[in-house]
Structure formats: C-alpha cells, structure tokens
C-alpha cells in the first residue's frame, strides 16, 4: 500500500506542528478538519476512513502520464492525500452520501493539479457507484479542457486494472458496466448545455469572465445523489471575475465567518506580508516543492520576472498563487528608451511591412512601418482636433505632441482618414512596402480604397506540408487581433525590446502608450495587448505588433539583410 490513510494524519500533524511550511489558509483548512472530527456527530457527519482509503487505493491502479514519473504508480503526496481523503471520506449520517459536493483548490502550476483532477474524474467514472455517471473536464477553451481529459485517457490506457473496464475513444471514455462517460466540454465549444453531470472537473476558473459554464454544468447535477463539482485553478489578474469572488467566499468559510458544510476548500499561496522575492516563502504556495517543483526552476523563473513586468505577473500568479492587479508595467520604460534612434536614415526603396490600428472615429489611429533590414519601427498617430482639445483639458496634452510633430491632428471631431491614406500612398512610393495589414473592424472602406491604389506583391505562403506556394497577393491584408494571431508577434516584440534589438523613432506617444499596456494571457499561454484592461491608449503598440506580425507571415526567408543581424522568423 503506497497511499495509506496515515499520510493524511501525518500531514495534519506536520502542518499543526509547523514542520510543514504552509500559509494560513492551509492551516485553517487543517484546523477545520480537526474541529469537524471532534464535532462530527453533532453536525450530522461521519469521517469514514474505509471510504477514504478506497479512494486512496484507487490511485495505486493509475500511472503518472508525464516526465520522469511516467508509467509509475500514482504515489500521492501527503497534501494530496489530505484533499482526496476529505472529499471521499466525509459522509452524511442521514443518507450516507458524501458530505462535500463542491471543492475549490487553488494551487500553483507544476504541482500536479491536472493529474490529480484527472484521477478524481476516473474515480467518479469507475467506482463511485453512480448510475450512468457523466464526468466532464470543463474549462474556458477546448485546449484547456482537453489537457485534463487527455491526462485521464492516458492514465486509463496505462492501467492494466481499469483499462479492461473502459472503451477508450478519441473524444470520450465509456465505462461498460455502469454505462458511464467522460469527455471534455468548454465555453468556446458551446457544448455545456443539456448535461446530466455527476462530476465536473473545472480547470482554471480564474480565466472565466462569467459563471455561465459553471451554472450550466451545475444545473445538470440537480437529480444526482452526491455529485462533485471539483474546481482546481491557479490565481489570476481579474479581481472582478467570478473566481475571485468565489475565492473570497471560500476564505470566509475557512475563517469561520459562515458555514457551507458541502464545500471543501484549501488555498496554497503566500501570507499577507510575505516577501514574494524570498525563496524561503515559495514552498508555502508549492506543496510539491522539491518533488515536481524544482527550486532551481523557480529561481530561474524569478530571475526572468525581475526583468519583465509580464513575467513578474506570470511568476506571481502561476508560481506563487498571488492575485495581482492588471496594471503592471509590461516593458520597462528604460528598456524602450535604449532602442530610440530618431536620427536613423532609412534609404528610399528599403523593404518595409506596415500595419494600421484604427481606433474609434473620434480617437487615436496608429500607422506603423517595420523595416526588417534595420530592425527599425516607426509610427504615425492621427487624432481629431476636437479630441485633442478635450484631452488637453484632462491632463494629456495631445496638442503639444502635435506641435512637436509627434502626431497629426485632423480637422473636426472625427479622424479624417484621407490624411492617413495620403501618408500611406507616399510611403508606398518611397519604400518597397511589401504588405500593409488592417484590423477588419471598421476598416472595410479604407481597405477597399487602399487596394484600389496599391496593387499586389508576388510572395509565398507556406502550406501545412511545408511547401512554399508563390502567387500574387494584394498588398492590403487583414490582420485579426485575436490571440492566435497576436501572440507570436507580441512575444517577438517583447523579446526584441528586452534585448534592445528593436530600434524605433523615439516618439514620446509610443513611450506613453507602452506604459499603458496590460496583457491578456489565455490558458495556453497566448498573449496580446488588452485594450479593455490597459490604463489608456495603446493603439501605437498594437500597430507595431501587427507590423511585426505582417513581416512574420509574409517574410519567408527570401531576403538577406546585411545590416540587421536578424536571423529570420519562419
């Protein structure tokens, strides 16, 4: 027996004695367990060690799916035994059903949260004695939901004990003897309605903007005797979202402010007042510290965080489980300033790739050009005069920037795109402008006008099999600002700025806008500037990134630039 229930009690005593270093929320969860043992009968509950051991024993039938542990039996760590034993050990005296039907676990990445959730899903599918169980791995995106489901499928396939009980299909698991199923559902797949859930494995709750998915899946549990809604998540930056509010409720329960006897919760994070830069504190948020979480890895991530605002947010939220505000500076102004080269001379006929980010008609429009031979980017800004007048009365002097020729004021209350078009036509005649990209939002007429004037470029598109197919393409292209399109050039922009490889025109409007940027990060690591979260205007940064993205898409390594030292992005 590799997962005896004694691990539960060893963990409890270790936390109480201080031998195991944890935050106050974990101490409160342990104290709650101890208090409930003393008052179980009075509360109408029973801690059934046999039932808890049955769940712990099931883990021995499973195999790890990744890394150096792949193929080895699932040897639970004491903190994991604490969670599993609480979920499956506590019973109601009145009907014998499980006490806990809701679980909220907040824990950092690399602590095995996905495999723990997947294994609990298999318990609920195979041995829960539920008629026709329906188990769903749920998340905001297909990809994130698929991670947990694929882990469960891999565990099932590797287990000689439970594999014969299951039909392992591409998108589902089917349990023959109880007609149970397990599959993945997500918000973006719009497939959460009409479920009769017995168990939901709700991953990365912090990215959900609403509770629509949770509400939909919970409503399907109404007829189940002892359903389980198992939420496991890291922290995030959306303190206005449903996860942060629910977390507050969980903390209130741990502190004894009110009772929710059907909800088990434990939160692994730092305590208020702890220095996030002190490595001695990091194990509080990482119960697998020294097991699956390597101290050296955390130190390396910390070193990156010290140099980059985005990496700092990532380190705090994903590796220390600290909730942060979104208005953290992405790239330091000092780094950006190092790349300023306002006196650079770009010769006529130099190759460039351009992009336009259209703001609201009464707001900023930004037009950027990237010259790959010189790793140089320059941006022109356009703002209506009436908007500049309003802004000057509220502390931002657009008019002074205009006087210094850092932006163009167009007459009236809306941006006159004729000024923009004339600048584009002039640049297209002076330089070898291969392509210019527009966000399709509100740009149909501008795109048509530019297409009528700018012609085509003979260029290649790489097919999925790697073949380059050459043809004539309109110089004017659309560039949707979705994460899948924006993430690669955003990361490239970040890398070039951090390593001072990107030169720019030194426009103070760009410096101001860069300081405004807040990034959106999705569950699979895609990043993009988020206009809604950012402190103020960021149109110029977006257009720079789009220009880089246009280069990445269309530059197929056919040009060799002597001056850039740029190795090419394919």
**Confidence at residue 210, expressed as pLDDT on a 0 to 100 scale:** 86
Q: Which residue has the tokens 């002892």?
A: 226
With bands split at pLDDT 50, 70 and 90, how would you rate the model's confidence at 202?
very high
Write out pLDDT tens, residues 502-519. 999 999 999 999 988 988
Sequence-distant (6+) residues with CB within 8 A of 313 are 237, 324, 328, 519, 521
With bands split at pLDDT 50, 70 and 90, how would you rate the model's confidence at 560?
very low
With bands split at pLDDT 50, 70 and 90, how would you rate the model's confidence at 224?
very high
Rounded Cα distance, 6 and 480, in Å = 55
Write out pLDDT tens, residues 13-70. 999 999 999 999 999 999 999 999 999 999 999 999 999 999 999 999 998 888 788 8
Beta bridge partners of 276: none
In the predicted model, is pLDDT for residue 568 greater than 50? no
**Confidence at residue 533, expressed as pLDDT on a 0 to 100 scale:** 83
In the predicted model, is pLDDT for residue 559 greater than 60? no
Lowest model confidence (mean pLDDT) among 79-88, 257-266, 401-410: 401-410
DSSP single-letter state for residue 396: -
- Whether the Cβ atoms of residue 43 and residue 90 lie closer than 8 Å to each other: no
Average pLDDT over residues 529-554: 93
Average pLDDT over residues 412-418: 83
Rounded Cα distance, 103 and 202, in Å = 10
- State residue 472 phi and psi, 5-degree precision: -90, 130
**Confidence at residue 206, expressed as pLDDT on a 0 to 100 scale:** 92
Helix intervals (H) in 353-482: 385-392, 398-403, 417-430, 444-454
Q: Is 497 helix (H, G, I), strand (E, B) or coil?
A: helix
| CA-based nearest residue to 355, from 437, 243, 272 | 437
Beta bridge partners of 252: none
User: What is the percent of the chain with per-residue pLDDT over 70, rounded to a whole number?
Assistant: 94
Write out pLDDT tens, residues 436-455. 999 888 788 999 999 999 99
- Whether the Cβ atoms of residue 75 and residue 3 lie closer than 8 Å to each other: yes
Average pLDDT over residues 215-231: 93
Sequence-distant (6+) residues with CB within 8 A of 48 are 89, 90, 91
- Whether the Cβ atoms of residue 238 and residue 326 lie closer than 8 Å to each other: yes
Average pLDDT over residues 318-345: 87
Rounded Cα distance, 269 and 26, in Å = 9
With bands split at pLDDT 50, 70 and 90, how would you rate the model's confidence at 565?
very low
Token reading at 476: 């004017």
The whole-angstrom distance between residue 504's C-alpha and the CA centroid of its chain comes to 30
| CA-based nearest residue to 213, from 239, 235, 241, 236 | 241
Write out pLDDT tens, residues 75-117. 999 999 999 999 999 999 999 999 999 999 999 999 999 999 9
Q: Is 508 helix (H, G, I), strand (E, B) or coil?
A: helix
In the predicted model, is pLDDT for residue 327 greater than 60? no
The H or E element spanning position 352 is strand 351-358
Rounded Cα distance, 542 and 526, in Å = 15
**Confidence at residue 310, expressed as pLDDT on a 0 to 100 scale:** 78
pLDDT, averaged across the chain:
90
| CA-based nearest residue to 404, from 505, 543, 336 | 505
| CA-based nearest residue to 243, from 528, 523, 33, 29 | 523
**Confidence at residue 361, expressed as pLDDT on a 0 to 100 scale:** 64
The H or E element spanning position 91 is strand 90-92
Q: With helix as H, strand as E and coil as C, how does 279-334 read? A: HHHHHHHCCCECCCECHHHHHHHHHHHCCCHHHHHHHHHHHCCCCCCCCCCCCCHH
With bands split at pLDDT 50, 70 and 90, how would you rate the model's confidence at 313?
confident
With bands split at pLDDT 50, 70 and 90, how would you rate the model's confidence at 172?
very high
Write out pLDDT tens, residues 466-477. 788 888 999 999
For 304-313, give one letter per residue: b (16+ CB within 10 A) or e: ebeebbbbbb
- Whether the Cβ atoms of residue 354 and residue 370 lie closer than 8 Å to each other: yes
Kindly list the distances between the CA atom of residue 208 and the CA atoms of 141, 213, 487, 544, in Å, as whole numbers in the listed order: 10, 8, 20, 29
Token reading at 289: 């510290």
Between strands 90-92 and 199-203, the pairing is unpaired
**Confidence at residue 326, expressed as pLDDT on a 0 to 100 scale:** 58
HSE at residue 283, side-chain half, CA atoms within 13 A, is: 14
The dihedral over CA atoms of 340, 342, 348, 350, expressed in degrees to the nearest 10, equals: 0
| CA-based nearest residue to 423, from 385, 378, 479 | 378
Kindly list the distances between the CA atom of residue 459 and the CA atoms of 45, 84, 369, 555, in Å, as whole numbers in the listed order: 71, 57, 19, 8
**Confidence at residue 464, expressed as pLDDT on a 0 to 100 scale:** 76
The Cβ of residue 448 has, within 10 Å, a number of other Cβ atoms equal to: 10
The Cβ of residue 76 has, within 10 Å, a number of other Cβ atoms equal to: 23
Write out pLDDT tens, residues 524-539. 889 999 988 888 899 9
């Amino acid at each position: 027996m590799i997962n005896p229930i004694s691990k539960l009690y060893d963990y409890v005593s270790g936390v109480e004695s201080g031998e195991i270093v944890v935050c106050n929320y974990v101490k409160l969860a342990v104290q709650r367990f101890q208090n409930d043992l003393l008052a179980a009968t009075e509360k109408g509950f029973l801690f059934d060690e046999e039932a808890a051991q049955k769940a712990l024993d099931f883990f021995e039938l499973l195999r790890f799916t990744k890394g150096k542990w792949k193929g080895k039996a699932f040897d639970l760590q004491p903190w994991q035994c604490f969670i599993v034993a609480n979920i499956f050990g506590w019973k109601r005296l009145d009907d014998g059903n499980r006490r806990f039907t809701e679980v909220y676990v907040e824990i950092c990445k690399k602590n095995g949260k996905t495999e723990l959730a997947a294994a609990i899903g298999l318990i609920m599918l195979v041995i829960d004695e539920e008629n026709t169980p329906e188990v769903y791995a749920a998340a905001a995106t297909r990809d994130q939901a698929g991670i947990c489901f694929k882990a469960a499928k891999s565990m099932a396939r590797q287990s000689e004990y439970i594999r014969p009980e299951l039909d392992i299909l591409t998108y589902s698991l089917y349990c023959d003897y109880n007609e149970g199923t397990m599959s993945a559902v997500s918000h973006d797949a719009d497939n959460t309605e009409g479920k009769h859930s017995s168990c939901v494995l709700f991953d990365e709750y912090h990215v959900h903007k609403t509770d629509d998915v949770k509400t939909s899946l919970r409503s399907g549990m109404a007829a189940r005797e002892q359903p389980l809604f198992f939420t496991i998540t890291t922290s995030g930056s959306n303190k206005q979202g449903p996860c942060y509010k629910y977390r507050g409720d969980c903390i209130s329960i741990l502190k004894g402010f009110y009772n929710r006897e059907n909800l088990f919760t434990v939160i692994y994070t730092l305590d208020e007042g702890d220095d996030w830069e002190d490595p001695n504190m990091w194990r509080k948020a990482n119960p697998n510290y020294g097991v699956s979480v390597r101290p050296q890895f955390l130190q390396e991530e910390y070193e990156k965080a010290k140099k980059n605002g985005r990496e700092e947010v990532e380190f705090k939220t994903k590796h220390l489980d600290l909730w942060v505000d979104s208005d953290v500076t992405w790239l330091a102004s000092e780094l950006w300033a190092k790349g300023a080269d306002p006196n650079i001379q770009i010769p006529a006929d130099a190759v460039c790739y351009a992009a336009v980010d259209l703001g609201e008609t009464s707001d900023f429009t930004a037009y950027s050009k990237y010259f790959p031979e010189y790793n140089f980017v320059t941006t022109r800004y356009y703002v209506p005069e009436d908007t500049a007048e309003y802004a000057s009365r509220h502390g931002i002097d657009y008019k002074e920037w205009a006087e210094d020729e850092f932006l163009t004021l167009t007459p009236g209350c809306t941006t006159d795109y004729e000024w923009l078009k004339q600048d584009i036509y002039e640049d297209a005649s002076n330089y070898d402008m291969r392509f210019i990209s527009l966000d399709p939002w509100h740009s149909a007429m501008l795109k048509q006008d530019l297409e009528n004037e700018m012609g085509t470029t003979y260029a290649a598109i790489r097919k999925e099999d790697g073949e380059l197919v050459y043809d004539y393409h309109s110089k004017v292209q659309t560039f949707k600002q979705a994460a899948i399109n924006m993430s690669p050039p955003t990361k490239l922009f970040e890398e070039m700025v951090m390593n001072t490889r990107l030169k720019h025109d030194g426009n103070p409007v760009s410096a101001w806008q860069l300081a405004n940027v807040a990034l959106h990060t999705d569950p699979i690591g895609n990043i993009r500037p988020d206009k809604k979260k950012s402190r103020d205007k960021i149109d110029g940064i977006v257009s720079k990134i789009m220009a880089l993205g246009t280069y990445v898409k269309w530059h197929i390594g056919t040009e060799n630039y002597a001056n850039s030292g740029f190795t090419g992005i394919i």
